[in-house]
Amino acid sequence: MKKNILFVDDEKQILRAVNRLFMDSKYTVFMADNGEDALNILEKENIDMLISDMRMPGMDGYQLLKAVKEEFPSVIRIILSGYAEGEVVFKSFRQNLAKLYLFKPWDNSQLMSIIDRVFETEKVLKDKNLLSIVSNLEELPTISDTYNRFCSLIDIDADVREFSALIEEDPSIAAKVLHYANSAFFGAKTGSISQAIMYMGLDNIKNIVLTATVFDRMNSREKLLNLREELWEHACLCNKAVILLHEKLLGKRLPEIYASAGLLHDIGRIVFISNFPEGYSRLIKTIDTDKSKSFVDVETEAFSVSHQEMGGYLLDWWELPLPIVEAALYHHSPGLDKILNKELVSIVHIADYFVWELMGTNSMNSLDIDVMDNLNISMAECRKIVRNIYKGL
């Protein structure tokens, strides 16, 4: 069945260009030049994806995305906007109003291939097998109240004291924030949450709050507690490695909104640990004795999905940006064509491999040498970067 895409832009010539581009495509395109009309179309038609401009007279893109998230939550929301609208786009991302941000003017073939890939990943996440596993889980972590309150404080530009008060309400989150801040990577020598916030910035802290609550809230049997601790350490190290590798290899800072890709990439394993403690313990033993299969293959044989799909599903359900979802969903298969943000997925792949290596855990993951070649980095360089971070913890 043809997918339906709704474009919203107040500039008629943009809509005409879109119309020409999609004339003979595999998609059916609907168009609206204002937010109110867009909502009317959504009411009548079965729209799969909304691609909206931000700056529009009357209802602007921000208000429209907010309304669509509430009233038509299954519609994939994408922003297509100019560079100048950075602030409002950022605000939309902070509230998880859009999956992706595309810039104008666009390249026709690129736009089409981006849309194709977004739908392909959507297909992976809506796979029947995955959905049936997920719907039978006893426990799927919801976004915590602390995290939601933290985001609301960001939106009202709250005072540092209000943020620290919120974090201090939960001693285990407070401990994780301080642990992260006191590592040599940030260099803070402090026992104060307020100082940690000033050192690391709100976005970093927000990501730690999000991840820490998942790690802490999920039940875990005694014998898997060690594994959970190990995964937390792995996540922290990977996050730092991803940030450093991104700067080194691509010569630019990892955008703040993607800065938790490393922290969250293995979140699917936490879901397995808490829902299938017995099965997962058995699986770890199998891996220790039989080294002939990859970790992902062993997981897939046992549970019919791997921690990649499980994690990708969870992060998508939380409506995190697509690049973060992709980092979880594809970090052991970074060469796939359907990946949109290849650079980020590749860097998470590399960080994951070398961090496990350094932690001395046989992760059974293989390293994709093509990814190393594409990014033009050697094994020795990766080891050096990761080792320096490790020293700092």
Please pick, from the candidates 48, 60, 170, 266, the single residue that binds Fe ion as defined by CB under 5 A.
266
**What's the min distance (Å) between Cβ of 239 and Fe ion?**
11
User: By CB under 5 A, is residue 326 in contact with Fe ion?
Assistant: no
Which of 163, 232 has the CB closer to Fe ion? 232
Which of 194, 300 has the CB closer to Fe ion? 300
**What's the min distance (Å) between Cβ of 101 and Fe ion?**
26
Which of 68, 389 has the CB closer to Fe ion? 389
Which of 91, 293 has the CB closer to Fe ion? 293
Which of 141, 268 has the CB closer to Fe ion? 268
Which of 98, 327 has the CB closer to Fe ion? 327
Quote the CA–CA distance of 364 and 368 in Å, as a whole number.
Answer: 13
User: By CB under 5 A, is residue 48 in contact with Fe ion?
Assistant: no
| Count of all residues that appear for the chain in the document | 393
Which of 316, 352 has the CB closer to Fe ion? 352
Give the tokens for residue 72: 């038509």
Scan for tokens 């001395």, then name that residue: 360
Q: Report how many residues bind Fe ion under the rule CB under 5 A.
A: 2
Q: Quick one: which segment of 31-39, 69-77, 213-221, 259-267 binds Fe ion (CB under 5 A)?
A: 259-267
**What's the min distance (Å) between Cβ of 152 and Fe ion?**
31
Q: For the chain, percent helix, then strand, then coil, each to nearest 5?
A: 65, 5, 30
User: By CB under 5 A, is residue 60 in contact with Fe ion?
Assistant: no
Phi-psi region of 101 (alpha: psi -120 to 50; beta: other; left: phi over 0): beta
**What's the min distance (Å) between Cβ of 99 and Fe ion?**
22
Which of 77, 234 has the CB closer to Fe ion? 234
**What's the min distance (Å) between Cβ of 242 and Fe ion?**
11
User: By CB under 5 A, is residue 352 in contact with Fe ion?
Assistant: yes
- For Fe ion, the binding residues in 7-46 under the rule CB under 5 A are none
Q: Quick one: which segment of 31-39, 83-91, 184-192, 264-272 binds Fe ion (CB under 5 A)?
A: 264-272
Neighbours of 154 (CB within 10 A): 16
* DSSP category for residue 99: S
**What's the min distance (Å) between Cβ of 76 and Fe ion?**
25
Distances (CA, A) of 283 to 286, 296, 363, 366, 381: 5, 11, 13, 18, 33
User: By CB under 5 A, is residue 85 in contact with Fe ion?
Assistant: no
Are 36 and 59 contacting, i.e. CB atoms less than 8 angstroms apart?
yes
**What's the min distance (Å) between Cβ of 273 and Fe ion?**
13
Distances (CA, A) of 146 to 152, 160, 191: 10, 15, 20
Are 262 and 243 contacting, i.e. CB atoms less than 8 angstroms apart?
yes
**What's the min distance (Å) between Cβ of 263 and Fe ion?**
10
Q: What secondary structure does DSSP assign to 160-172, as a single string?
A: HHHHHHHHHTSHH
Closest CB to Fe ion: residue number: 352
> Nearest 5 degrees, angle CA 200-CA 187-CA 243?
60
Are 300 and 306 contacting, i.e. CB atoms less than 8 angstroms apart?
yes
Binding site for Fe ion (CB under 5 A): 266, 352
